[in-house]
């Protein structure tokens, strides 16, 4: 079976799973509509097979504080014993095994999210391992494209102008502004960013689940004059599909969502209903390559822009951009514009933004492995 399909058969025996909890301070907090980020954390996974090949993945762990430590414990003490030392036909079989084995533990703990996140991170590491073993970058292993469009994200309401100016200087042609804290501030920031971007630059909004359906319809009309590409998560991510349909019926702005979605039924509902113009699954939060690649292909086939969400270290970022390339590249990749040691110090040197695009590496897997010395220095104390 061709590896251009996510159903490729790639036998694996996992010898070891290692976790790395990283932490780095940030000079300027990043604020959104409901919280303030004062440091950066990441949970990396390294999987070694019985031949010595290794793959790297990342687990979403941005909330709550010390969430990375908790998820590392779930991997080390719950998930790893289930799959280490066993023979599997493919990463998909590992994914399926973990989904079944972790169902009751996740129900018992009342934590379906963290269990889905560790399954996704393990899946990403396994596909990196498989592609590296094959000597191909992931975008090519799945028969995709190497050139993907990106936008600069993470612009908080607090003086976003300088960050946007730097992003444009560094090759970005699109930025995403966090809104929903104060309308007057949001409108002023919008006007400033539109001036910085010019008429051809793209402006996106992220409301971070700020409003009810009724509020969202009214609030979004305030921003239409700035001609945004989308309004992301104007309502809570767990609102039923019927709420999104209600909002979409009158919305003056294109809608984007998905980072807080989980499960095939949720995403199939988004794709089949057409309520979103931009679909944003987070592959470190749910699904990994095994679920998110077929999802991306379904979305693109349905005329929806595929825009994988990511806010973490360079490992997850390069996984996410390879996912976009593997799916065909019809969408946008999220690239956090804020200073972040976990991205900057781990990022491979050959990745640059040029005229709004990134050309992915031809190196195997996600294109690199993190520097051991840097990992040691960034390890959480």
* CA pair distance 158, 170, nearest whole angstrom: 21
Select from 135, 165, 184 the last residue of a domain.
Answer: 135
Q: Are both 130 and 143 inside the same structural domain? A: no
Final residue belonging to a domain, choices 78, 104, 135: 135
Structural domain includes residue 56 = yes
Indicate whether 287 belongs to any domain: yes
**251 lies in the same domain as 346:** yes
Which structural domain range is residue 289 located in? 139-370
Task: Tell me whether residue 229 is in a domain.
Answer: yes
In a domain, 225, yes or no: yes
CATH code for the domain in which residue 303 is found: 3.20.20.120
The answer to the question of residue 375 being in a domain is no
Q: Please tell me the total count of domains within the chain.
A: 2
- Note whether 364 and 340 are same-domain residues: yes
Last residue of a domain, one of 135, 167, 202: 135
Q: Digits of tens for pLDDT over the chain (381 positions)?
A: 345 556 555 789 999 999 999 999 887 777 777 677 778 999 999 999 999 999 999 999 998 889 999 999 999 999 999 999 999 999 999 999 999 999 999 999 999 999 999 999 999 999 999 999 999 999 999 999 999 999 999 999 999 999 999 999 999 999 999 999 899 999 999 999 999 999 999 999 999 999 999 999 999 999 999 999 999 999 999 999 999 999 999 999 999 999 999 999 999 999 999 999 999 999 999 999 999 999 999 999 999 999 999 999 999 999 999 999 999 999 999 999 999 999 999 999 889 999 999 999 999 999 999 999 999 999 998
Instruction: Kindly state whether residues 156 and 94 are assigned to the same domain.
Output: no
Beta strands in the chain (DSSP E): 12-31, 36-49, 54-59, 87-88, 147-155, 174-178, 202-206, 230-232, 255-257, 278-279, 305-306, 333-336, 353-354, 357-359
Are residue 201 and residue 106 in the same domain, yes or no? no
User: DSSP 3-state assignment of 336?
Assistant: strand
- Same domain? For 145 and 264 the reply is yes
């Amino acid at each position: 079976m061709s590896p251009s399909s996510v159903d490729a058969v790639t036998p694996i025996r996992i010898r070891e799973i290692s976790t790395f909890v990283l932490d780095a301070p940030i000079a300027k907090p990043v604020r959104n509509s409901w919280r303030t980020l004062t440091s950066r954390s990441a949970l990396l996974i390294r999987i070694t097979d019985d031949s010595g090949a290794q793959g790297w993945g990342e687990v979403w762990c941005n909330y709550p504080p010390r969430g990375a430590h908790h998820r590392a414990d779930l991997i080390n003490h719950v998930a790893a014993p289930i799959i280490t030392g066993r023979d599997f036909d493919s990463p998909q079989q590992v994914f399926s095994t973990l989904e079944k084995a972790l169902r009751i533990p996740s129900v018992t703990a009342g934590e379906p999210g963290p269990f889905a996140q560790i399954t996704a991170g393990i899946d990403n590491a396994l596909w990196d391992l498989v592609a590296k073993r094959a000597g191909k970058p992931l975008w090519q292993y799945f028969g995709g494209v190497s050139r993907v469009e990106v936008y600069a994200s993470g612009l908080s309401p607090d003086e976003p102008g300088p960050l946007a100016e730097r992003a444009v200087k560094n090759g970005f042609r699109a930025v995403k502004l966090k809104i929903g804290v104060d309308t007057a501030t949001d409108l002023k920031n919008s006007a400033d960013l539109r001036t910085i971007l010019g008429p051809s630059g793209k402006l996106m909004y992220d409301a971070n689940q700020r409003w009810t359906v009724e509020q969202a319809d009214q609030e979004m009309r305030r921003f239409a004059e700035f001609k945004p590409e989308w309004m992301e998560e104007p309502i809570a991510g767990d609102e039923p599909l019927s709420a999104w349909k209600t909002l979409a019926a009158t919305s003056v702005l294109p809608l984007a969502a998905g980072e807080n979605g989980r499960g095939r039924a949720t995403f199939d509902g988004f794709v089949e209903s057409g309520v979103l113009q931009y679909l944003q699954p987070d592959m470190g939060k749910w699904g990994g390559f095994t679920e998110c690649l077929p999802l991306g292909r379904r979305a693109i086939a349905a005329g929806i822009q595929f825009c994988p969400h990511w806010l973490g270290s360079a490992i997850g970022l390069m996984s996410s951009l390879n996912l976009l390339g593997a799916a065909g590249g019809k969408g946008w990749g999220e690239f956090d514009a804020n200073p972040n040691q976990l991205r900057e110090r781990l990022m491979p040197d050959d990745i640059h933004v040029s005229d709004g695009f990134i050309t992915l590496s031809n190196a195997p897997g996600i294109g690199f492995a993190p520097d051991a010395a840097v990992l040691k220095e960034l390890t959480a104390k």
